[in-house]
């Protein structure tokens, strides 16, 4: 058997992973919940932050929808939107990295896998970074790390809290060591932010894995997560083979991690803005007009 055939057989035998689904067909009038099967009018579903009214299942949303859920309407001011990735290693697998970037940028309308900016949450200033899984699995390359670092530095200079919405498969392999360096760079910026006594809140959504989990996703003063989000570093099979034991079915869910002290709060998406406002005020922030 060739190596390619071996990998093909492995893919066929892997169990399906439960996770949130994107609303793919923007022209559809109706949407069916992948968890409970409830058919809902698409506009009603979007009005409910893409959370199923039947079972509470959180469908995956893109960065623009995420910003609309968190930020006050019209308050988000994007930063560093002109930063675009290059191909420093001339990387090529089945396709060249440059071609993948170009196609993904065209299909998503994004320059890379994160949008950063300043906004308000019920009038309270917040520095916000939102990762988008549509862009190469939300992978963390040089531009992702640079944009998040610049946002944190801007928040530090302004005395603002930071939230990073994580949705990522981890470091971007096409950029090799350069992508791994972003873990240290962002973590260093967060340490300087912490030394100023400022609040950092990561929000872990489905999925948050790899180098993102191993760095800024787990460095929050309070770590928030969406219900049933998959959160981890390595995959189940790798961990089971390393430990040589069977793991619980839910061991990488937000609920399991909360029970074991890795997540502080699980916040339904429909309650996020109110909860975030309360947390910011609890930590001394005030609405801009009252500052």
How many Cα atoms within 13 Å fall on the side-chain side of residue 66? 28
Q: Where are the beta strands (DSSP E) in 49-194?
A: 77-79, 114-121, 124-131, 162-168
Q: What is the pLDDT of residue 286?
A: 76
Assigned token pair, 1? 């058997």
What are the tens digits of pLDDT across the range 60-84? 999 999 999 999 999 999 999 999 9
pTM (predicted TM-score): 0.88
What CATH code is carried by the domain that includes residue 124? 3.90.226.10
Residues in the chain: 291
Minimal CA–CA distance to 202: which of 163, 230, 153, 154? 163
Helix, strand, coil percentages in the chain from 3-state DSSP, rounded to 5:
40, 20, 40
Q: What is the pLDDT of residue 6?
A: 42
- Asked whether residue 28 is domain-assigned, the answer is no
What are the tens digits of pLDDT across the range 120-159? 999 999 999 999 999 999 999 999 999 999 999 999 999 9
CA end-to-end span of the chain: 68
Buried b (16+ CB within 10 A) or exposed e, 186-206: bbebbeebeeeebbbbbbbbb
Residue range 9-33: average pLDDT?
A: 56
Rg (CA), the chain: 19
Q: What is the pLDDT of residue 168?
A: 97
- Asked whether residue 257 is domain-assigned, the answer is yes
Question: Phi, psi at residue 58, to the nearest 5°?
Answer: -95, 110
What are the tens digits of pLDDT across the range 101-117? 999 999 999 999 999 99
Instruction: State which residues form the domain around 136.
Output: 61-290
Cis before residue 84, ω within 30 degrees of 0? no
Q: What is the pLDDT of residue 18?
A: 43
Output the average pLDDT for the chain: 91
- Contact, 172 vs 209, CB < 8 A? no
Cα separation, 211 vs 187, whole angstroms? 12
What are the tens digits of pLDDT across the range 205-229? 999 999 999 999 999 999 999 999 9
Q: Is 244 helix (H, G, I), strand (E, B) or coil?
A: coil
Task: Give the β-pairing of 124-131 and 162-168.
Answer: parallel
Q: Cβ of 251: how many Cβ atoms within 10 Å?
A: 14
Q: What is the pLDDT of residue 11?
A: 43
Q: What is the pLDDT of residue 285?
A: 77
- Asked whether residue 113 is domain-assigned, the answer is yes
Q: What is the pLDDT of residue 289?
A: 61
CB neighbour class for 18 (10 Å; exposed up to 12, middle 13-18, buried from 19): middle
- Asked whether residue 50 is domain-assigned, the answer is no
Assigned token pair, 150? 């610049």
- Asked whether residue 13 is domain-assigned, the answer is no
Overall number of domains in the chain = 1
What are the tens digits of pLDDT across the range 156-185? 999 999 999 999 999 999 999 999 999 999
- Contact, 21 vs 35, CB < 8 A? no
Cα separation, 8 vs 20, whole angstroms? 25
With a cut of 90, say whether residue 42 has pLDDT above it: yes
Q: How confident is the model at residue 14 (pLDDT cuts 50, 70, 90)?
A: very low
Assigned token pair, 202? 């990561």
- Asked whether residue 44 is domain-assigned, the answer is no
Cis before residue 206, ω within 30 degrees of 0? no
> What is the 8-class DSSP label of residue 39?
E
């Amino acid at each position: 058997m060739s190596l390619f055939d071996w990998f093909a057989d492995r893919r066929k035998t892997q169990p399906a992973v439960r996770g949130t689904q994107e609303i793919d067909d923007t022209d559809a009038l109706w949407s069916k919940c992948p968890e409970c099967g409830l058919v809902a009018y698409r506009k009603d579903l979007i009005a409910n932050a893409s959370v199923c009214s039947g079972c509470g299942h959180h469908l995956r949303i893109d960065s623009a929808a995420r910003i609309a859920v968190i930020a006050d309407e019209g308050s988000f001011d994007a930063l560093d939107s002109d930063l675009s990735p290059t191909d420093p290693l001339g990387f090529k697998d089945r396709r060249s990295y440059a071609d993948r970037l170009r196609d993904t940028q065209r299909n998503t309308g994004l320059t890379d896998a994160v949008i950063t900016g300043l906004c308000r949450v019920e009038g309270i200033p917040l520095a916000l970074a939102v990762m988008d899984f549509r862009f190469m699995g939300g992978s963390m390359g040089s531009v992702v790390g640079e944009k998040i670092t610049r946002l944190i530095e801007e928040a530090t200079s302004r005395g603002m809290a930071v939230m990073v919405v994580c949705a990522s498969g981890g470091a971007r392999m096409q950029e090799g060591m350069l992508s791994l360096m972003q873990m240290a760079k962002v973590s260093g910026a967060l340490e300087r932010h912490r030394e100023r006594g400022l609040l950092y809140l990561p929000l872990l959504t489905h999925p948050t894995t790899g180098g993102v989990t191993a760095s800024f996703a787990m460095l929050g003063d309070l770590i928030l997560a969406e219900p049933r989000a998959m959160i981890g570093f390595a995959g189940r099979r790798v961990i089971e083979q390393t430990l040589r034991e069977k793991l619980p079915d839910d061991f990488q869910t937000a609920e399991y991690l909360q029970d074991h002290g890795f997540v502080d709060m699980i916040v339904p998406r429909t309650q996020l803005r109110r909860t975030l406002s309360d947390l910011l005020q609890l930590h001394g922030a005030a609405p801009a007009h009252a500052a």
